[in-house]
Structure 1
Amino acid sequence: MRRRELIAGGAALAGLPLAARAQNATDTTEAAAGMLDGTGQPMMAPHIVQLVEPFPPGEVHVFPGPFRLYWTLEDAYAWVYPIRIGRDNLYEAGEYYVGAKKEWPSWTPTPDMIEREPEKYKQYEDGMPGGPNNPLGARALYLFTEERGDTFLRIHGTNDPNTIGRAVSNGCAGLINEHMINLYDKVPMGARVVLYPKA
């Protein structure tokens, strides 16, 4: 898909999350009950919605405006999850595929991250092992393109629910760990991922 087509498609679909009709979830998690997102509002649990316009099943669609991630199903249904996204110009709209999946992944800040905030990231330049305090959380999907290979963008977990519903990361999309585990088990290697442009 050419960039012009992607942006046009993103603009046309930007209202889709608001137009989705919620259905009774068949397999929602209980992890979000009583938790708050970054706006102080109760955080929604993952649930199934019926989309006004169908998407091909088996794809991830990230809409930055309403901070929502959709995992598409057959017959115009989708799972929807609350997310956080990259701040400022670190959010990178585009089309990707899942090139790797890791449970409790290790993490190394990118050179750009170290250059931007050495006081925060320099100490981790040799990496951090996976675990509850790791910034990538419990699970991570690694986003690749044919041209670049690993883009260093991730969809990953976090143990900080206060960041959900906010643009705070270094470019990655984040879900609380319990939601990320739920999503990780659904998304296979090679799945298409679309990050739509910010409004």
Structure 2
Amino acid sequence: MIGKTLVIVGALMAGAMLSGCSPIDTQTAMVETHLTPRDKAMLALAPPEEWSIPIVRNHVTDPTGEAAGTIVVDTSAHNLYFVLPGKQAIQYKVATGAEAYGWTGRATIGHMQEWPQWMPTASIMDRWPEFKVYIKHGPLAGAYDNPLGARAMYLYDGSRDTLYRIHGTNEPDEIGQAVSSGCIRMRDLDVIDLYSRVHIGTPVVVK
């Protein structure tokens, strides 16, 4: 566990050095992630390559013009911004929907879950019939290798679930690409950090 923690810290430091913006201090970033004992146990099981990709999380001047407390996803740049007071924002790198499956619009967070279960949607099962096994066996339990990762924030249009999520990932090498079925994927440490900053009703803009 100590070894894995040191690797996590190293990844954070590498991300800071590679970024051209103002990187969040490594120790601060580790505190901001609010890792629970379950988080630490789950993440310690993740394969080493999970931490070989630098985490780039930056404080930047807000480019969105949205109100503080808003999540804004720039799908073309694969960036997610959490808007802070004083025209500042935290910028995270994300994976977005593939061209045929992307979604844009305004929504709010209607539900939040730590280490969520994953049940493939009907459209996913149509595209990948092998996932129909979950109809019989039920959802995949929350774990480090679950496609939803460490956290999920469910996007709602009023009281209607849009079926789109902001969530973690078990494929961190795809961050920065347009590869998902429409959802917004984040590195697990980043999604834990964002999750700690938002609440039910947080506005979300995807453009």
TM-score (normalised: structure 2) = 0.74
Asked if structure 2 preserves the Cα contact closer than 8 Å seen for 1:60 and 1:72, the reply is yes
- Verify: 1:124 aligned to 2:138, yes or no: no
Match of 2:148 among 136, 140, 150: 136
Residue 29 (structure 2) aligns with: 28
Once the two structures are superposed, residues 148-179 of structure 1 have per-residue CA deviations (whole angstroms, 9 ceiling, x without a partner) of: 61111100001322110111111100001111
- Verify: 1:187 aligned to 2:186, yes or no: no
3-state SS of the aligned residue for 1:136? coil
Residue 63 (structure 1) aligns with: 74
Match of 2:187 among 158, 163, 176: 176
In the TM superposition, what is the alpha-carbon distance from 1:97 to its structure 2 partner?
0.3
AA in 1 matched with 2:195: Y
More deviation in 47-56 or 101-110? 47-56
AA in 2 matched with 1:35: S
3-state SS of the aligned residue for 1:179? helix
Matches within 5 A, 1:1-150: 22-23=21-22, 25=24, 27-29=28-30, 35-36=52-53, 43-52=54-63, 54-119=65-130, 121-125=131-135, 126-146=138-158, 149-150=160-161
Asked if structure 1 preserves the Cα contact closer than 8 Å seen for 2:23 and 2:57, the reply is no
Asked if structure 2 preserves the Cα contact closer than 8 Å seen for 1:29 and 1:46, the reply is no
Aligned-residue Cα RMSD (Å) equals 2.4
AA in 2 matched with 1:143: L
AA in 2 matched with 1:124: Y
Matched-pair identity in %: 33
Q: Distance in 1 between matches of 2:64 and 2:76?
A: 18
Moved over 2 A (4+): 21-31, 33-36, 51-55
Identify unmatched segments of 5+ residues in structure 2.
1-19, 34-49
The structure where helix makes up a greater share of residues is 2
In the TM superposition, what is the alpha-carbon distance from 1:47 to its structure 2 partner?
1.7
More deviation in 162-171 or 21-30? 21-30
AA in 1 matched with 2:141: P
TM-score (normalised: structure 1) = 0.77
Q: Distance in 2 between matches of 1:194 and 1:59?
A: 8
